[in-house]
Structure 1
Amino acid sequence: MTSPRLFARRLSLLAVAAAAVVSVAGCSLLSSTFGADSTPRGDDGQVVEQNDSADVFSIRVGDCLNDASASDEVTEVPLVPCSEPHDSEVYASIIMTGDAFPGNDVVIAEADDACFERFEEFVGIPYLDSIYDFSYYFPTEGSWANGDREILCVIYDPAGQKLTGSLAGIAR
Structure 2
Amino acid sequence: MSMTVARRPHRLLTMAPAVLALGALFVIPAAPAVQKGDDFLTPETTGVLNLEPGECFTDPEYSPAAGEDIVLYTTCDQHADNQSYGFVHADDGPYDRVALADFGWTSCKRGFVNYWPGAAGAELDYYPILPTAETWADGDRDIMCVVYDPRGELGGSMLPRAS
* Shared fold, TM over 0.5: yes
Query: Across the two proteins, how many residue pairs are aligned to each other?
Result: 121
Say whether residues 1:114 and 2:126 are aligned partners: no
Query: How do 1:72-111 and structure 2 match up within 5 A?
Result: 76-101=70-95, 103-111=96-104
- Alignment correspondent of 1:169: 160
**SS in structure 1 at match of 2:123:** coil
**SS in structure 1 at match of 2:54:** coil
Query: How do 1:16-165 and structure 2 match up within 5 A?
Result: 20-23=36-39, 24-26=41-43, 55-67=47-59, 76-101=70-95, 103-123=96-116, 125-128=117-120, 130-159=122-151, 161-165=152-156
What CA distance in whole angstroms lies between the structure 2 residues aligned with 1:105 and 1:61? Answer: 25
- Alignment correspondent of 1:44: none
- The alpha-carbon deviation at position 76 of structure 1 amounts to 4.0
- The alpha-carbon deviation at position 77 of structure 1 amounts to 1.9
What CA distance in whole angstroms lies between the structure 2 residues aligned with 1:54 and 1:84? Answer: 20
**SS in structure 2 at match of 1:115:** helix
State the one-letter code of the partner of 2:155: T
For structure 1, which runs of at least 5 residues remain unmatched after alignment? 1-18, 27-33, 35-52
**SS in structure 1 at match of 2:77:** coil
For structure 2, which runs of at least 5 residues remain unmatched after alignment? 1-34, 63-67
Contact 1:64-1:87 within 8 A present in 2 as well = yes
Contact 1:54-1:79 within 8 A present in 2 as well = no
TM-score (norm 2): 0.64
Aligned sequence identity (%): 22
- The alpha-carbon deviation at position 117 of structure 1 amounts to 0.8
**SS in structure 1 at match of 2:103:** helix
How has the CA–CA distance of structure 1 residues 116 and 128 changed in structure 2, closer, same or farther, with 3 Å as cutoff? Answer: same
More strand, by proportion? 1
- The alpha-carbon deviation at position 112 of structure 1 amounts to 0.8
CA RMSD of aligned residues (A): 2.7
Contact 1:56-1:75 within 8 A present in 2 as well = no
